[in-house]
Amino acid sequence: RESEGNLHRMVVEPASFERLLRGQMLNEEVMFAGLASLLLAFPPASARVSIFPTYVYLKWRRKDPLDQIYKMVRCTKFWSADILLVPIHLPEAMHWIGAAIHPSRSRIVIYDSLAGLRT
């Protein structure tokens, strides 16, 4: 699992927390911090769990230099996780869903709190 040291070093900008006070939409920083807080509060018993930051995917899609991307993610070791958590933003729905990827099982589980409420 991702070392707790990496999760403890996470920085959340004050502007991101202010979004919560003003009732604005959550951003990726708040979603990532929420997932990390859950992992720290409820550590998995046996699985190595990592959180995949979606901005890394966006950098890869933009074809940013791979050495820069690697520097951003090398300490996370998400590629060796038993479970990879991925926050996914659906801009058209103004909603976040989550994916839990289980590479060894070739399985992806989607979590959507509004699944039954949207058409």
Q: Are 7 and 86 in contact (CB under 8 A)?
A: no
The whole-number pLDDT of residue 106 equals 94
The whole-number pLDDT of residue 6 equals 54
Which amino acid appears at position 78 of this protein? Answer: F
The span from the CA of 60 to the CA of 40, in Å, is 28
pTM: 0.71
118 has a pLDDT exceeding 80: no
Per cent of the chain over pLDDT 70 is 88
The whole-number pLDDT of residue 102 equals 93
Q: Are 40 and 14 in contact (CB under 8 A)?
A: no
What's the chain's average pLDDT? 81
- Residue 69: inside a domain, yes or no? yes
pLDDT grade, residue 9 (50/70/90)? low
- Residue 10: inside a domain, yes or no? yes
Find the CATH number of the domain harbouring 25: 3.40.395.10
- Residue 88: inside a domain, yes or no? yes
- Residue 42: inside a domain, yes or no? yes
- Residue 119: inside a domain, yes or no? no
Find the domain containing 57 and state its range. 4-111
Nearest CA among 54, 13, 9, 12 for reference residue 33: 12
- Residue 118: inside a domain, yes or no? no
Domain count, the chain: 1
Q: In what order do the strands lie in the sheet with 95-102?
A: 49-51, 83-90, 95-102, 107-111
Task: Give the range among 34-38, 71-75, 105-109, 114-118 with minimum mean pLDDT.
Answer: 114-118
